[in-house]
Amino acid sequence: MAHKILTSEQIAFYNEHGYLLAKGVIPPDALQLAQAVLERWVDQLIDKWVDAGLLNDSYKNVDFAHRLVQVWNTAGKPHYIRSPRRDLVSLEMFEFIRHPAILNLAQDLLGTPEILAHGVFNARPKLPDQKWTDTPWHQDAQYYRDAEHTHIVSIWIPLQPVNTQNSCLQVAPGFHRGQLYEGHNDEETGFLGLSKEDRAQLKGIPIEMELGDALCFPQLTPHAALPNQSDAVRWSMDMRYEATPTATESGKKQGFIARSQESPESVARFEEWLQIWDAIPAGSY
């Protein structure tokens, strides 16, 4: 039986305002899984740059917070996948997505132990003063429009404290009760997001967070990242969860049943999830 981690007041706040800052709910072992996934991805990325002759040093002695930005600058700021997904698929990623603490959080907000881990998850390596990785105002359901009327909870987890200096997220409370806006490609970044006219209606509030906090919001809540004005990479992971009985086709595509009290035998094994990705080439978003 899952342990309830949110109070009724927190759940009511989420339902009313369209977001919740859940403080201290992500344990160190979950964060360590996420960092292991990202460290391996950075190793692979840097190896490619070394092989391409852009570097003669892999900077393994530089800490996780600063290594990617130092290497990227030294290599001449080469292109890379700004939101890796396929390249993160691994046992550690699987264990992170289905970590009991994260599933407990999703269960409290979805109101059911029948949980599908949505196929869309992202890592966000957000480098300092890099406009290309500034995620503009958007609704997550703009990326999977079959979820317009289906509750999908997004859980955004930073791997370091975040604030207005190093790119915390901002959310627009109350807009989750509105419409799913048309998607527009952002002029500066190319990310899918809200039009200038729709953005002008929003009143965003920044959500500063400590290590171990999680920011949760439903699929229609507009949100955006502030610029990273620090000297370090701002690392984060975001996953999505929905109720299995009403799961969307987009969620099931690369998703998996992560928890079930009714049918425990339906919970996916790592090998089953891995097979879903076999036909998807490395480097895919």
Q: Determine the Cα–Cα distance for residues 93 and 98; give it in Å rounded to an integer.
A: 9
Q: How confident is the model at residue 2 (pLDDT cuts 50, 70, 90)?
A: low
pLDDT(1) > 60: no
pTM given for the model = 0.95
Is residue 261 in some structural domain? yes
**Do residues 117 and 89 lie in contact, with contact meaning Cβ atoms separated by under 8 Å?**
no
Number of domains the chain is built from: 1
The amino acid occupying position 220 is L
Q: Could you tell me the two tokens for 70?
A: 């130092």
Q: Which domain holds residue 128?
A: 9-28+83-277
Is residue 233 in some structural domain? yes
CATH number at 268 reads 2.60.120.620
* Averaged pLDDT score across all residues of the chain: 93
pLDDT(111) > 90: yes
Is residue 78 in some structural domain? no
- Mean pLDDT for 166-179 is 90
Is residue 163 in some structural domain? yes
| 217 beta partners | 154
Is residue 253 in some structural domain? yes
**Length of the chain in residues, anyone?**
285
Is residue 123 in some structural domain? yes
DSSP 163-190: -TTBT-EEE-TTGGGS--PPPEE-TTT-
pLDDT(142) > 60: yes
Is residue 65 in some structural domain? no
